[in-house]
Amino acid sequence: MSQHLFTKSSPEHQGLFGLFPEEISEKFSPSTPFRGKQVFDWLLKGVETFDAMLNVPKQMRQEMSDSSDGTPFSSFLVNQQQDDDGTVKLLIRLNDGLYIECVLLTDEEDRKTACLSTQVGCAMGCTFCRTAEMGFQRNLTASEIIEQFFYLSRITGKPSHIVYMGMGEPLANIGEVIRSIELFHYPKGFNISARKITVSTCGLTDGIKTLAQDLNIPVKLAVSLTSADNEQRTRLMPINKRYPLPALHRTLKSYCIETGKRITLEYVLIGGENDSETAGRALAEFARDLNAVINVIPWNPGAGNGTQFSEPSQQSISSFCSLLEKEGLRITRRYRRGRGINGACGQLAGNPD
Ligand code: SAH
């Protein structure tokens, strides 16, 4: 038995998209269990009304409709924007009037990656991130997480990959995140393979352990490190006070040994802040025995009203990356897309204006 606290998500408060077929049956048609699968299949096809569910009895359609304001979705697509680089950003209104954003990135290999939000706002307080400036409003339900995927699919076709890198801290809403992963992975549903799903965290060690122990789906783990200096990391990412670097390193080490998986360390490169040679060497030191891939993300403007932080120069990005390579680390430089529509890393704010 694991020692940590982990509240499993329950079906009661879910919208329809957050339910497995048998849970739909239990809720609306306990005497005819196959009905749940019929409804589930209609949802999967993307129907927008209950009337379109032709093989489902009228009374059951009515009951579902009454319980969800007449539409299978609990959220509404309000606006969509497309950047010149093909990135699409959606603004979605939740049923309590709050807003979230999600993004679809298309890359050179034609992968379509859905970048999903897990919370309205964020409580982690990273000083360089625009979402953090909103503060924390509430957790999303699994249904609200999955509905983002549906809205993105409708516009661009079914995404091939999922990254939990939108607004919020996934491991601070781990019950709903796990339910949504189970549904995305469900063979009779979207059937998305574990290696195409990435969960990104600012380093909540309890959550990382829970993910490894309680989720039977070996998704990929990305950890937003951004500094390998404990003092600097606390200044940039206040959550480091509660989960300091040495503890994070220990947890990641066990994670790698237990799962045998390669993790990603995300490093937001901020001009004049964490792009020095010393910072690069500290990062190499931290990463070495973790067999990690480093994802260098040049800081995108948006937070701190542009005064506190600056973008790193091309020169500083190149020398930082080549230093890491010389240290023998594997690096990637993705996630710059969507800047033209404030849809890149750290720029999501769910702002309807
Ligand atoms: N809370 C989770 C999920 C969010 S992922 C996490 O921290 O991992 C969003 C990624 O964008 C994180 O790696 C975060 O560090 C990074 N980020 C935040 N603000 C940014 C900015 N202004 N420019 C570039 N990356 C940023």
Residue located nearest, by CA, to atom 4 of ligand 1:
165
Judge contact between 258 and 282, C-beta under 8 A.
no
- pLDDT mean over 127-144: 96
Ligand 1 atom index nearest CA of 302: 22
pLDDT tens track for 46-95: 899 999 999 999 999 999 999 988 999 999 999 999 999 999 999 999 99
> Judging by beta carbons within 10 Å of its beta carbon (0-12, 13-18, 19+), is residue 3 exposed, middle or buried?
exposed
Share of the chain above pLDDT 90, in %: 82
Sorted by where each starts, the structural domains of the chain and their CATH numbers stand as 5-67 (1.10.150), 75-341 (3.20.20.70)
Question: How deeply is 350 buried, as exposed, middle or buried, from its count of CB atoms within 10 A (0-12, 13-18, 19+)?
Answer: buried
CA dist 285 and 198 (Å) reads 24
What pTM was computed for the model? 0.95
Q: Is the pLDDT confidence value at 248 over 80?
A: yes
Nearest CA to ligand 1 atom 5: 165
| pLDDT tens string 8-50 | 888 888 999 999 999 999 999 999 999 999 999 999 998 999 9
Contact between residue 116 and residue 166 where contact means Cβ atoms under 8 Å apart: yes
Structure-block tokens of residue 203: 């380093």
Active site residue 327: no
Mutate to test the pocket of ligand 1, among 266, 267, 293, 310 (most ligand atoms within 8 A of CB): 266
The candidate with the shortest Cα–Cα distance to 65, out of 26, 15, 31, 99, is 15
Point out the catalytic residue in the list 102, 126, 321, 345: 345
Which pLDDT value is given to residue 302? Answer: 80
Summarize pLDDT for 292-349 with one digit per residue, the tens: 999 999 999 886 655 689 999 999 999 999 999 999 999 987 656 888 888 888 889 8
pLDDT in tens, 147-197: 999 999 998 899 999 999 999 999 999 999 999 999 999 999 999 999 999
